[in-house]
Structure 1
Amino acid sequence: MKSNLSRALFSLLAFMLMFAAFNFNAQANESRTQLTELDTAEIFGDLELGSERPTSVIVELEAESIVEAKHKGKKQTKANLKAERGKVINELKKAVKDADVNREYDYVFSGFSVKLPANEIMKLASVDGVKAIYPNVHYTAEVISKEEISSEEFSPEMAASAPFIGANDAWKAGFTGEGVTVAVIDTGVDYTHPDLAHAFGDYKGYDFVDDDNDPQEGSGQYHGTHVSGTVAANGAIKGVAPGAELLGYRVLGPNGGTTEDVVAGVELAVQDGADVMNLSLGNSLNNPDWATSIALDWAMAEGVVAVTSNGNAGPNNWTVGSPGTSRDAISVGATRLPYNAYTAEITTSEGVEYPSAKVMGFPSDDNLLALNEGEYEFAYAGLGYPEDFEGKDFEGKIALISRGEFAFVDKAENAKNAGAVGAIIFNNVEGEHADVPGMAVPTIKTTLADGQKLLAEMKAGNNKVSFNIEFDQAVKETMADFSSRGPVTLSWMIKPDVSAPGVNIVSTFPDEGYAALQGTSMSSPHVAGAAALLLEKNPGWGTNDVKAALMNTAKDVVDPGTGEAYAHNTQGAGSIRVVEALNTNTLVGTGSHSFGKFIKDSGKQVEKQGFEIKNLSGEVKKYTFEVEFAGNPKGIKVTTSNNLEVEPGTTQNVNLNVQVDASKLKPDYYEGIVLVNDGTQTIKVPTILFVGEPDYPRVTGAFMDNAGEGSYYVGAYLPGGAEILAYDLYHYDNGYVGDFVKTLGVFENTPAPYHEFEWDGTVQNGIEIPNGDWVMAVYVEKAGVMEYKAYLVTKE
């Protein structure tokens, strides 16, 4: 595999050098004609502008939305915006006959969505009044695993996450979210569920998938109902804010949804009077400047607390996706509630040892310990696909499964569906794979070597296994591995802002049911519910007050492996604590701080910034400030006000001056804490800065989609764009990269955050490659950093 990659990369670089030399010579011979640059709208993303295929985009107008104009001290009306939008649409339809306008926006976003041939987008960009054009990207409501709970198995004690963050103590203090309206922008909601019916009035919201006034969740969908229960259930279980009112907005169908409906849902929720909105949805685009993020930022400005999940693509940095990348909305990471850790030993026959055996995940302590009760037959299920279990008897047995190709939780779910009582998953490469809490059956993990031993034992007829599982230790709240991490490209902000429980969260399920789900989708509604409690107590608070209260009072989550708090871009300000947020006497906004990047090669670079501090108490408070960067690196110096007296009920600005001497620092990401102390309470404000060009991944994914008539849309996700970009196709050989086939395309200076082009599906001499699995390797070069990553794609 390495030789193939090296050969392809060498050929690619040689081609690049030749291409660059050719361009230089050609330019040297050109006459110096003065060209006039045309004034066109900015096009975000790298759309295939030469293709005739119908493409849906979101158009932002130069005319400001009603909310944006209001907050800039200007006057704007629906009538005026309708007229301005009409002018642009009329000009567009004159230029592009096939333009089909769908949704129109004016409240928190000014513009419309339109479908038109991709090669007509430049005509759209040249129409007067158009400010920017955004791709209409795909959004999904993802969970890491799902386990329905029968009414026979269900008990209210399963819903432990709301009490853990202190919601039940808030109820005792008289705060349940009464009088606060929370909009759930999701897959719809089963508003007939007995635990949710109380929260809905005659007007229940809107369905943007079917375009009607009934946001009832679609057949086979459940996500929005589960999210709604975590916010405001009040029956067999209680959500965080059981007294809150709910509105449902269905923007995601069975196959997800797109920007145009998400933005429409945000707009209508604001106009319908929501106080809080929850968006447990997302995509993989790490970029803050998209239509959805713009809509959320202005929703926050208008007084609606916008809460969104951070994504399930962790544990690496830079994995946060839109709309979790929004500058102002509250992005939420996922934690796992305290749990018991266990050791595990497995035995097959005498003299055969499996030293790598460890507990990987389990649905409950009792399920796990039940494996100690006897000897079990085990059978091989390959990769654990449903078809790997077909025609085989796994009832009451242990499924032996190889890692690879799809999620661990789905492998365990398939084993459970086949009747297995447990699973052993062995690695397909050297080393240990991750723990995954909340597996559908008790699951043990081993290395590849120990997995091969188990296969050999089975082949030899020794297909019985016994377990010795013992309690090891009680583990406190931890971050979930799947929880996406920041920072955000371009804005360089810390994300998530806060964290909340997101593993094995029991909540409402359609048709009067309950289910345990996990994902940051489950974390976000905890924070939305907490925001409702805060607004009930403090109806005059602004959105940044709510955000600051939750962030300022969050509790550090500690990594049990290191004994140190998780990094800011893993946990944000920490795990929320409702009672502490309700009782805080100081608000430090906006809860975290990024100094951005410092790219001066030599000498000192100084930046002046600051934040607000609000004294909520009834007495004068004197604040002191201290800034600490991890490891106390030489070359970073931050100065602040020494002492600051703030009158009761007033707000003052605190100045921060940061001086960075790049000559004393290696290019890296540095995190620190601003400590704000009033003599009785210390608030920690997370902060970060970057020296040199940040180390964001140059490529985060690739795709190949059927375009019809034998052609394909090929593309990659590029958080920071690319100076040089190339796509190489390889054979896929049973889990490995096979022989090199062809370089499909080479491109220069492609903008963030994604690129696509149309490929005719052929290789040499017009020969079309057959359908099936292939490997596409993407080469990216940006700011002196080169990456070459391989992705499994399917040609259909």
Structure 2
Amino acid sequence: MRRQRKKLLGGMVLSAALVLSAFSGGAGAVDESTNTSSSSDKLRVLIQPDKSVRSLKASLKRQLGERHDFDDLGFTTEVTEEELKKLTSDKSLKVTLVNTLSIAEFQEEGRVEAMATPSDRTPWGIEAIYRNSSIQSTSGGKGIRVAVLDTGAYTAHPDLSANVEQCYNFTTSSPVVNGCADGNGHGTHVAGTILANGGGGSGIYGVAPEAKLWAYKVLSDGGSGYADDIAYAIRYAADQGVSKGVKVVISMSLGSSAKDSLIANAVTYAQQRGALVVAAAGNSGPSANTIGYPGGLKDAVAVAALENVQQNGTYRVADFSSRGNPSTAGDYVIQERDVEVSAPGRSVESTWPNGGYNTISGTSMATPHISGLAAKIWASNPTWSNNDVRAELQKRAKANDIKGGISAGTGDDIASGFGFPTVQAGDQ
């Protein structure tokens, strides 16, 4: 097989230059620090053959192997440095290093050790989004699936186990069923904020405890992952929604500072297939134009982080929360690099992989509040489309404007977006 690969690659026309990824070091350079593979001598690449050269794609896939196929965008695989040099010299190919994304810029520091029991069964973020400081439990989300693309989830957690419907690992060469184990904690925490069900009397509650969890491990236990695995999982969740005839919210508390074409395409694909995509804005604030991706995409609901502090009569946007684009502020129209809504994101308590609870901060923690609210709204309005639910989130955010924090003010701003959408009477 090795000899066959060399023969094919050696026969290619040597002419085209390497098309660098957003994380490459510079013209003619390959930055391997952003493209670590399971095999130390391999690089993850996206290969886009010239469509006019018929059968080339199929031939390359047979010789190099295939990770994921993205139709006209090409396919991904892993190659050695020697193979990469030969591939990138062929005029009929566009070869790009696959980007990596992580939770690094989306989670702030939190408690070092988790607690065995929650300090509050309805944490402050739940009380805030329900507009009820004395609430004892939550409800809603029945029939809605929430795909959490993250570090996995501890599906045996007492507050989550009854809600788990799917558990896949997308960080391997092909998805592994029941392989979503979370060795990090981030994904379990996110899942709990969305749909923790109280654990039979002693646990914590999420926003929509009757929703079903699709736990998709797209990041390593170290908190990073490849864009092609994430894009594939986004498409998979959307396709599952269509094939099963169910409503799907895709929640992503991950990202990078650079836009990735595979993920951008997948998010648009999911939106067109009827899924609602919710993503973190990032933790690179408080300067303008610091929003990350995929949150910065037009087809994703970007969520900023609030803290449990009152300023100007409202909750305050955390300084760490990324800000949007000033040139598009004030118009109540979502464009690329716009913050859309905001939600509790500092000092959020939720479920943890040891079966206990932990308190961490970030727009990673704000995002699941909105994902849970979307599930709750959709369950109450099952005939609605994903666009209808998004419009309702925007409507509720406008009615609860956020005026606290750097760059926050009356109306659509770069810090809080439209505002903080909350639960209303009648939500189920």
TM range (shorter): 0.7 to 0.9
2:323 aligned residue? 485
Report the secondary structure of 1:496's partner residue. Answer: coil
Deviations 1:225-249 (A, max 9, x none): 0000001000121111000000111
Deviations 1:290-337 (A, max 9, x none): 211210111011101111111111111111121112121111111112
State whether residues 152 and 216 of structure 2, in contact with CA within 8 Å, keep that contact through their aligned partners in structure 1.
yes
2:101 aligned residue? 139
Counterparts in 2 of 1:214 and 1:581: CA distance versus 1, 3 Å: same
Alignment of 1:721-736 (within 5 A): none
2:3 aligned residue? none
Q: Does 1:321 align with 2:272?
A: no
One-letter amino acid of the counterpart of residue 523, structure 1: A
Alpha-carbon distance in structure 2 between the residues aligned to 1:184 and 1:561: 30
Q: Number of aligned pairs?
A: 376
Q: 1:227 aligns with which of 190, 196, 199?
A: 190
Report the secondary structure of 2:414's partner residue. Answer: helix
State whether residues 488 and 494 of structure 1, in contact with CA within 8 Å, keep that contact through their aligned partners in structure 2.
no
Q: Does 1:270 align with 2:238?
A: yes
1:89 aligned residue? 57
One-letter amino acid of the counterpart of residue 127, structure 2: P
Aligned-pair CA distance for 1:268: 1.8
Aligned-pair CA distance for 1:566: 7.9
The structure having more radius of gyration, on CA atoms, is 1
Alignment of 1:297-376 (within 5 A): 297-338=268-309
Q: Does 1:56 align with 2:29?
A: no
State whether residues 23 and 99 of structure 2, in contact with CA within 8 Å, keep that contact through their aligned partners in structure 1.
no
Alignment of 1:104-253 (within 5 A): 104-105=69-70, 111-116=74-79, 117=81, 118-123=84-89, 126-127=92-93, 134-142=96-104, 143-147=107-111, 148-151=113-116, 154-157=119-122, 159-166=123-130, 176-201=140-165, 204-210=166-172, 211-219=175-183, 221-235=184-198, 236-253=203-220
1:517 aligned residue? 360
Aligned-pair CA distance for 1:579: 1.5
Aligned-pair CA distance for 1:568: 1.6
Q: Which has the higher strand share?
A: 1
Counterparts in 2 of 1:509 and 1:560: CA distance versus 1, 3 Å: closer
Report the secondary structure of 1:181's partner residue. Answer: strand
Report the secondary structure of 1:56's partner residue. Answer: strand
Alpha-carbon distance in structure 2 between the residues aligned to 1:141 and 1:41: 28
Alpha-carbon distance in structure 1 between the residues aligned to 2:50 and 2:147: 29
Alpha-carbon distance in structure 2 between the residues aligned to 1:322 and 1:155: 32
One-letter amino acid of the counterpart of residue 517, structure 1: I
Aligned-pair CA distance for 1:89: 2.6
State whether residues 231 and 525 of structure 1, in contact with CA within 8 Å, keep that contact through their aligned partners in structure 2.
yes
State whether residues 49 and 119 of structure 1, in contact with CA within 8 Å, keep that contact through their aligned partners in structure 2.
no
State whether residues 305 and 343 of structure 2, in contact with CA within 8 Å, keep that contact through their aligned partners in structure 1.
yes
State whether residues 182 and 277 of structure 1, in contact with CA within 8 Å, keep that contact through their aligned partners in structure 2.
yes
Q: Does 1:574 align with 2:419?
A: yes
One-letter amino acid of the counterpart of residue 387, structure 2: N
Q: Which has the higher contact order (CA 8 A, sep 6+)?
A: 2
State whether residues 333 and 500 of structure 1, in contact with CA within 8 Å, keep that contact through their aligned partners in structure 2.
yes
Aligned-pair CA distance for 1:518: 0.4
Aligned-pair CA distance for 1:580: 7.8
State whether residues 306 and 316 of structure 2, in contact with CA within 8 Å, keep that contact through their aligned partners in structure 1.
yes
Aligned-pair CA distance for 1:51: 5.7
One-letter amino acid of the counterpart of residue 234, structure 2: V
One-letter amino acid of the counterpart of residue 338, structure 2: K
1:558 aligned residue? 403
Report the secondary structure of 1:291's partner residue. Answer: helix
State whether residues 16 and 90 of structure 2, in contact with CA within 8 Å, keep that contact through their aligned partners in structure 1.
no
Aligned-pair CA distance for 1:523: 0.6
One-letter amino acid of the counterpart of residue 249, structure 1: Y
State whether residues 553 and 581 of structure 1, in contact with CA within 8 Å, keep that contact through their aligned partners in structure 2.
no
1:284 aligned residue? 257
Q: TM-score, normalised by structure 2?
A: 0.76
Report the secondary structure of 2:264's partner residue. Answer: helix
Aligned-pair CA distance for 1:559: 2.6
Alpha-carbon distance in structure 1 between the residues aligned to 2:99 and 2:320: 22
Gaps of 5+ in 1: 1-37, 64-83, 340-472, 584-796
Q: TM-score, normalised by structure 1?
A: 0.43
Gaps of 5+ in 2: 1-14, 33-41, 242-246, 329-333
Alpha-carbon distance in structure 1 between the residues aligned to 2:145 and 2:262: 24
Deviations 1:242-266 (A, max 9, x none): 0000011101112311101111211
